[in-house]
Amino acid sequence: MANCTITAGIDIICNDLRRTGGVAKNVWLFNIPNLRASIDVDSTTYITTIELNTYATLYRFEGAKFSHSATANLVKTDSGNVSFTHELIMKVFNTNPTDDQVLQDLTVAEVGAIVQTNNDEFFIYGAGNGLSASAVKTRVMTVLRP
């Protein structure tokens, strides 16, 4: 059996207690098939670039302040395997047929998400396996999960 142990602790400083919580009003989605090179999910350093194929782009989904949320949830199987699932809830307002088409496309797309926090930090969700829509409530919310 593997000898799995922790190798460090985590300290807290006063600035940690002053940090603003939550996700900022903008979330950017990209199509996983449009990645020129896959994102290294095992990297222990910050990701500074995401290479997309020529003419591929990031798509901005704007919501009201504090309307989006993103979480990484621990999943532990009976066999002891550990992984994290990503969940992104976006509250977007689709008010015309073009927006409706974007939501329809999102229901079948495999996307990754770049989420900006209110501390101006950026996190990538779905980098390894992508996210797909698991629920869409018209005119209000889209839930993306692995």
Q: Is the separation of the CB atoms in 52 and 28 below 8 Å?
A: no
Highest mean pLDDT among 22-26, 50-54, 142-146: 50-54
Name the pLDDT band for 83 (thresholds 50, 70, 90): confident
Mean pLDDT within 79-97: 84
So where are the chain's domains?
Answer: 21-145
Q: What is the pLDDT of residues 64-74, one digit of tens each?
A: 877 888 888 88
**For the whole prediction, is pTM greater than 0.85?**
no
Q: What is the pLDDT of residues 102-134, one digit of tens each?
A: 888 888 899 999 998 888 889 899 888 888 888
pLDDT at residue 28, as a whole number: 92
Is the pLDDT assigned to residue 5 strictly greater than 80?
no
pLDDT at residue 138, as a whole number: 59
The whole-angstrom separation of Cα 30 and Cα 57 is: 7
Phi, psi (5° rounding) for residue 4? -90, 120
The whole-angstrom separation of Cα 123 and Cα 46 is: 10
Rounded to 10 degrees, the C-alpha dihedral 141/72/125/76 comes to -120
The whole-angstrom separation of Cα 114 and Cα 121 is: 10
Handedness of CA 41, 46, 51, 52 (dihedral sign): positive
Is the pLDDT assigned to residue 30 strictly greater than 90?
yes
